[in-house]
Structure 1
Amino acid sequence: MHTIEDMKTLLGETLGLGSRAAELQAGSPLLGSVAELDSAAVIHILTALEERYGISIDDEEIDAALFETVGSLASFVDRKLGR
């Protein structure tokens, strides 16, 4: 699934993770584990997802489970893209 690699890049760029982004895996926890991921960063990530993938994310689709792991975020994008 190429979305994991895309997600690592997006998270690295959006959160300013630098080389730490390369260490992320599908099961890497996000909320509560990545210090840079605060409420403002969530908004930036959602905006970046919409812009990068040409998707629209409704408010009711956003919950903590979405940001549980890199894989959960990638799976959400895959579903939105119909993969």
Structure 2
Amino acid sequence: MSGASKVERVVRGVLRDVLGISQSRVDAFDVDTELFGSLPELDSMAVAGLLTEMEDRLGIVIDDDDVDGDMLATFGALCDFAESKVRA
């Protein structure tokens, strides 16, 4: 994880803090790690908290239209989404 981008590190921290999962578990996530539908902690109620925390920590705005199953499908997709918002 030493080569991880700032956005990736923030997304890992948000997942850890919002979902209450261990740092070692989050550290093991790779681009293909499935999230929504595969992590029991990431249910529809947790999604709102996750997105709000990402907005706060990354200084971005996530519109309702941005939220879909694809952006939450994998860790890589979530990081790519967050990175695109930071660059916008």
TM-score by length of 2: 0.86
Which residue number in structure 2 is paired with residue 4 of structure 1? 8
Measured against aligned partners, the alpha-carbon deviations of 1:20-41 in whole angstroms (never above 9, x if no partner) come to 1121112111011111000111
Runs of 4+ in 1 over 6 A off after TM superposition: none
Aligned residues: 83
Pairwise CA RMSD? 1.4
Written as runs of structure 1 = structure 2, the 5 A alignment for 1:23-38 is 23-38=28-43
Which residue number in structure 2 is paired with residue 22 of structure 1? 27
TM-score by length of 1: 0.90
Identity of aligned residues (%): 35
Which structure has greater helix proportion? Answer: 1
Question: Where does the alignment leave 5 or more consecutive residues of structure 2 unmatched?
Answer: none
